[in-house]
Amino acid sequence: MMKHSFAAGWFMCVLVSGLGAAGQTAAPEHVVVYREAGRFGGWPANHGIWSWGDEIVFGFSAAYFQLKSPEVHPYDSTKPEEPRLARSLDGGKTWSIEAPPSLLPQEQGGPVAVPLREPMNFLQPGFVLTVRFNDANKGPSRFWFSTDRGHTWQGAFEFPVFEQPAVAARTDYVINGEHDAFVFVTAAKKNGREGRPLCVRTTDGGLSWKFVSWIGEEPEGFAIMPSTVRLSPQRMVTAVRVRGDAQHDWIDLYETGDNGAQWKLLGRPVPFTGGKGGNPPSLIRLKDGRLCLTYGFRSPPFSIRARLSADEGRTWSDDIVLRSDGAAWDIGYVRTAQRTDGKIVTAYYFPEKAATERIIAATIWDPGAVGSRGR
pLDDT tens per residue, range 303-346: 999 999 999 999 999 999 999 999 999 999 999 999 999 999 99
Does 242 have pLDDT greater than 70? yes
Tell me the one-letter amino acid at 354: A
**pLDDT value at position 245?**
80
**pLDDT value at position 135?**
66
Does 97 have pLDDT greater than 60? yes
The answer to whether 331 and 57 are in contact (CB under 8 A) is: no
Element (H, E) at 329: none
- State yes or no: cis peptide before 156, omega within 30 of 0: yes
| Three-state SS sequence of 173-230 | EEECCCCCEEEEEEEECCCCCEEEEEEEEECCCCCCCEEEEECCCCCCCEEEEEEEEE
- Give backbone dihedrals phi and psi of 252, rounded to 5 degrees, phi first: -100, 155
The reported pTM is: 0.90
Average pLDDT over the chain reads 90
Does 373 have pLDDT greater than 70? no
Does 350 have pLDDT greater than 80? yes
Does 252 have pLDDT greater than 80? yes
Q: Cα 310–180–153 angle (5° rounding)?
A: 95
**pLDDT value at position 262?**
98
Torsion of CA 178, 180, 184, 187, to 10 degrees: 130
The answer to whether 224 and 233 are in contact (CB under 8 A) is: no
Mean pLDDT, range 136-159, rounded to an integer = 90
For 102, other C-beta atoms within 10 Å of its C-beta total 15
List pLDDT tens digits, range 48-62.
999 999 999 999 999
Mean pLDDT, range 299-303, rounded to an integer = 97
For 259, other C-beta atoms within 10 Å of its C-beta total 18
Does 301 have pLDDT greater than 90? yes
Mean pLDDT, range 254-260, rounded to an integer = 98
